[in-house]
Amino acid sequence: MSSIAIKVGHMTAKQDPTTSGSRTARGGLTSPEAPWPVRILNRKIGDWISKLGSVWVEGQLTQMKQTRYWTFLTLLDVEAEMSIELIAKNHVITSLPTPLSHGDRVIVLGKPNYSVSRGQLKLSITDIRPVGIGELLARIEQLRKLLAAEGLLAPERKKPLPVLPQRIGLITGRGSAAERDVISIAQERWPAVNIRTLNPPVQGASAVPEVKEALTILDRDPTVDVIIVARGGGSVEDLLPFSDESLVRHVSTLRTPIVSAIGHETDNPVLDDVADLRAATPTDAAKRVVIDMATELEGIRDCRQRGQQALFRWLDYERNRLNDLRQRPVMADPMTPINRHAEEVARDASSIRRNITLLLERANAEIAHLRGQVSALGPSATLARGYSIVQVQRPGEESEVATSIDQTPPGSQLRIRLNDGSIVAATMSTSPAQ
């Protein structure tokens, strides 16, 4: 196979720049007199690489850069100082159950892609899968999404913790640092705290069934008001029992509030999401479940003091109000308004009497005037001046006042009424007025 000479940049002294283009190699053969231009070389390399199919490649991610549509990564060989650039559409990366990070070990499916313009080789990937710890994390994240879809992680399912639990159930490894931390912190905060401890294995194949059994025992104990599941830190593999599906589903069925205190603050098994409360550490769990007696006593003293102060302020306020009321004129002489109203009543009564007397006098005067008019116009006064009233009496009929001589023909019986009595007479004769 003949060698390939590439001339880029400067030319040799014997080369004529005006004829370099006419000396291009034909038939794929090159020589110092007939070299390939860079463009031909890149095109031929690109044509050859484009014929390659997709391959699965394993490595470790070292760099990540994301743009609007594409994500650029660097895949490093786990044993040798070799790497290759990766390019993928954003949805390939964002569809992963767990986000990728620096140092993750992955397997990618990609097709070699050679840039003719830049002479760069990249692997265009269409699938990426975590391996090792990354695969475990992906399965855990998948389980977490499944439980969330079923509503087992909903906040409304979380049961409140008792303010002062009668008894605390503790599930942790025998003689572990987590057990010592929980018990010592709880007793320090509340010396009279009552803790029932069960020590199933918290790691290994038997951890899941025995932890479930311990949870069932404590949940059936009517004296246990809250259960703490505690374990110290460890690797992802060590904490896998607390991401077991059967265990977390069993926890979701318990009536007793569950506090998860697994690993360190950065650890996040699925039990943390299903439990009623997630504590960052076993120490944090003891602080959240057991109240601090010293703090509570201080709070009680503070409340008592503030209550006394508020009561004294209220008493002082009411006392000042009473003093102000007593210093008012109405309180200095309580009879003053009564006397004032009595004077008003007396004044009104006198005015009423005066008005009534005046009205009676006016009425008496009017009665006397009317009486005089009646007396002047009445028949008695007329009779007293010498006049009389003549009435015609007929048998079986009432007397009739005679106003015409036609009513008293001769022989008629008459009754003549005078001022001091009456006269009975008969008509002798009548004569008309002249």
| Spatial CA neighbour of 167 closest among 186, 142, 144 | 186
Cross-strand bridge partners of residue 71: 66, 88
Q: Is residue 5 part of a domain?
A: no
| Spatial CA neighbour of 120 closest among 92, 77, 84, 74 | 84
Q: Is residue 232 part of a domain?
A: yes
d(CA 51, CA 46): 9
Q: How many domains does the chain have?
A: 4
| Spatial CA neighbour of 129 closest among 108, 103, 112, 150 | 108
| Spatial CA neighbour of 125 closest among 109, 148, 136, 143 | 109
**Which of 80, 105, 131 represents a domain boundary (last residue)?**
131
**Dihedral sign (CA 306, 307, 310, 316):** negative
251 and 267 together in one domain: yes
Q: What angle do CA 361, 365, 368 make, to 5 degrees?
A: 140
- Confidence at residue 94, expressed as pLDDT on a 0 to 100 scale: 83
The predicted-structure confidence for 244-288, as pLDDT tens digits, reads as follows: 888 999 999 999 999 999 877 667 788 888 999 999 889 999 999
pLDDT bracket for residue 349 (50, 70, 90)? very high
271 and 157 together in one domain: yes
275 and 340 together in one domain: no
d(CA 165, CA 427): 135
Q: Is residue 261 part of a domain?
A: yes
The structure's pTM equals 0.47
197 and 150 together in one domain: yes
The predicted-structure confidence for 284-326, as pLDDT tens digits, reads as follows: 999 999 988 988 899 999 999 999 999 999 999 999 998 888 8
173 and 153 together in one domain: yes
Q: Which residues contact 116 (CB under 8 A, 6 or more apart)?
A: 39, 42, 43, 46
3-state helix, strand, coil in the chain (%, to 5): 40, 20, 40
The number of angstroms, rounded, from the C-alpha of 416 to the middle of its chain's C-alpha atoms is 114
CA quadruple 234, 240, 242, 245: dihedral, nearest 10? 170
87 and 218 together in one domain: no
Residue of 26 and 231 predicted with greater confidence: 231
d(CA 287, CA 252): 23
Token pair of 69 as six digits:
């549509």
Coil vs helix vs strand at 330: helix
Residue of 159 and 337 predicted with greater confidence: 159
* Domain of 285, in residue numbers: 139-291
97 and 201 together in one domain: no
92 and 196 together in one domain: no
